Structure 1
Amino acid sequence: MTTTTQPTAAASGAGATARFKADKSAGAAGASNERVDLLAREVLGAVHNTIRKHKVTYAEYNAVKAWLIKVGEDGEWPLFLDVWIEHVVEDVATEHRKGNKGTIEGPYYVPGSPDSGSSGTIPMRENEAGTPLIWTGRVTSTDGSVLAGARVELWHADDDGLYSQFAPEIPEWNLRGTFTTDAEGRFEIRTVRPAPYQIPTDGACGQLIAAAGWHAWRPAHLHVKVSAPGHELLTAQLYFPNDEHNDDDIASAVKPELILDPQPGPDGASQVVEYGFVLDPESV
C-alpha cells in the first residue's frame, strides 16, 4: 500500500467542485426555459408526493434541510450527484448508441493528461503498488472502419483508492494518461490494477450512507474517455471479474459489457487484458 495523508471529504469535495466549475459549468446554460420549467416542476412534484405519502414530519424535514446545507458546506454536490444520479442520466443520454456501452464519469476527471502515444506506460510513481496490467485494444467505428488517431484517456485510483489532484502527496498526473491509436486503430497501455475503495465517508454523503445503513464501496475500475473526430465521445468505467461489489456498487455504474477478462501475463507477475472500443458516428 502507498502511504499518504488521507484526504478529507471537504477537501476532495472542494477539488471536485472547482474542477466542475472550470470544465463543465458553462454547459449548464444550454437548457431552455421550457425544459427547466418542466423538469423542475416534476422533480418538485415527486418530492411533494413523497412527503405526502410518508407523512414527513417537521423533525424529518429539518434533518433533511440541515443535511442539504452540509452537502454544500462540504462541497459534496459533485460526489452526491455523480454517485446517486448520474448513472440514470448516462443511460438516457446514450440509449441510442449501437457501439460500446458507457457509464458514469464520476467527479475526478481532469483533462489534459500527458500523451504517451499508441504504446506506453501511464505516469506512475516508482514501485507503484498494484499488479502490473498490460491492456491492449483497438478503436473502430460502428461500420467496422479503423479509427487511427483516436484518443484513449485513462485515469484511475491508486492502491489506496486515492486519485491524483484530489488527494495530497500524490504527483500531479499520477495514474492519468492519454494514448493515441496507431494507423491500425490499436493501443497498448501499461498501468497497474486498481483496488476497490470507499467513497469519502467523513462528510455529508457519508452521513447519508450511515443513516440509511448502506455501504460506501465502489468496485475496482479503470476510467476512460475515448474520442475520435466525427464520433460521439464515449465515457466508461471498466471493471474486474469477481469483485464483491460488482453487484452492489454504491454508484450503480457496473454493466456486464464493461467487465474485463484479465489473464496471467507471460512473466507470471503481471496481467494482460484485451478490450477495444466501437464508437458511434455523430448524428448529422
Structure 2
Amino acid sequence: MTVTATAAASGANATERFKSDKFVGVAGTPPERVSLLAREVLEAVHGTIRKHKVSYAEYNALKAWLIAVGEDGEWPLFLDVWVEHVVEEVATEHRAGNKGTIEGPYYVPDAPERGARGSVPARDDEPGTPLTWTGRVTSTDGRTLAGAKIELWHADADGFYSQFAPGIPEWNLRASFTADESGRFEIHTVRPAPYQIPTDGACGKLIAAAGWHAWRPAHLHVKVSAPGHELLTAQLYFPGDEHNDDDIASAVKPELLLAPRPVEGGEAIDYGFVLDPERS
C-alpha cells in the first residue's frame, strides 16, 4: 500500500524530532532576560491589535489557527519559515567567513559518512540531474581545515525529506563528508527541485488566507564544522530560480548562489567554505 506524504505527518515528525534532539529549557537564563523578551513580544502583539483595530472575530480566528498549528505539529515549520531567518541574521552578524542561513525543520544528525569523496545515498531511480560538487574548507586566516565535516541533506524531486515523509529510504539524500588533508571534498548527488512547503495544514491555511505563495527555491542544506571554529549552517541556491527573490522563508542571500556548469552526464559546481574561529 502506498502511503501519501502529508503536512500533518511531516510536521508531527519534525515536532517530535525537535523535542527529542534540541529542546533546552531556560534554566540558567536570568529572569530579567526572559521577562524582557516576553514583554516586548507581547507589546508588539498589543501594538498591532491597537493599530489595526483587531475585532473579536479576527482574534478568535487567530486563537483557532494557533490551536491548529499545534494540532498539526507545524510549530517547527511555522517558526523556521517565518522567524528563523532573523534569528540567524542576528546570531551570525559578526562573522567574517561564509554567510549562512536557516537550518529549517528537517535536519537529522549522524548521516552516513562518505569520506572526502563520495555519493549521497539515493534510490536507484532517484530523479534529478546528477550534480558533482567540489570545494575546500579553510579558516578565515587561510589555514587549511583538514578533517572538516560537511553534512549535506536536501529534498527529493517531490519536495519531501527522508525520515519526515513516508515511503523514502531512511538516509535518502543525506550524508556526511570529511575534508582531506588539503581541506578538499567532492560530493556526488542530484540537483534538487523547487518545492512548496506543506500546504495541507495550518501553515497552508495562513498562506491561502493571506494570498501568499508557498514556494521555496531549489536548495542544498549544509552544516560545516571543524574543531575550534564556529559551526556554519547554510542553504545553497541555484541561479535562475524564479523564487530566489521571493522565497517564502526569506532565506536566500546573494553569497549563497551557486554557479553550476554543464559537464558530461550532468552538472558541476565548485563552492568552498571559510569558517570563523570560535570566539573566546
In 2, distance between residues paired with 1:217 and 1:263?
25
In 2, distance between residues paired with 1:188 and 1:118?
6
1:64 equivalent in structure 2? 62
Deviation at 1:174? Answer: 0.2
Map of 1:1-284 to 2, 5 A cutoff?
5-26=3-24, 28-29=26-27, 31-265=29-263, 267=264, 269-284=265-280
- Unpaired segments ≥5 residues, structure 1: none
In 1, distance between residues paired with 2:28 and 2:108?
22
- Structure 1's 28 and 220: CA in aligned 2 closer, same or farther, altered over 3 A? farther
Cα deviation, 1:198-228, whole Å, max 9, x if unaligned, reads: 0000100000000000000000000000000
Deviation at 1:29? Answer: 3.9
Partner AA of 1:147 in structure 2: L
SS in 1 for 2:88: helix
Deviation at 1:26? Answer: 2.3
Cα deviation, 1:113-171, whole Å, max 9, x if unaligned, reads: 00000000001111210000000000000000000000000000011111000111100
Deviation at 1:28? Answer: 5.0
Cα deviation, 1:29-74, whole Å, max 9, x if unaligned, reads: 4533111100000000000010001110000000000000000000
In 2, distance between residues paired with 1:5 and 1:217?
23
Deviation at 1:22? Answer: 1.4
Number of matched residues? Answer: 279
Partner AA of 1:76 in structure 2: E
Q: Which moved more, 1:191-200 or 1:20-29?
A: 20-29
- Structure 1's 231 and 173: CA in aligned 2 closer, same or farther, altered over 3 A? same
SS in 1 for 2:111: coil
In 1, distance between residues paired with 2:179 and 2:59?
53
Partner AA of 2:200 in structure 1: D
SS in 2 for 1:26: coil
Cα deviation, 1:94-121, whole Å, max 9, x if unaligned, reads: 0000000000000000000000000000
Cα deviation, 1:229-284, whole Å, max 9, x if unaligned, reads: 0000000000000000000000000000000000001x1x2100000000000011
Deviation at 1:27? Answer: 6.0
Q: Identity, % of aligned pairs?
A: 78
SS in 2 for 1:179: strand
> Under a length normalisation based on structure 2, what TM-score does the superposition of the two structures give?
0.98
In 2, distance between residues paired with 1:209 and 1:279?
36
> Under a length normalisation based on structure 1, what TM-score does the superposition of the two structures give?
0.97
In 1, distance between residues paired with 2:62 and 2:151?
38
In 2, distance between residues paired with 1:259 and 1:52?
41
In 2, distance between residues paired with 1:227 and 1:27?
25
In 2, distance between residues paired with 1:248 and 1:260?
17
SS in 1 for 2:98: coil
Runs of 4+ in 1 over 2 A off after TM superposition: 26-32
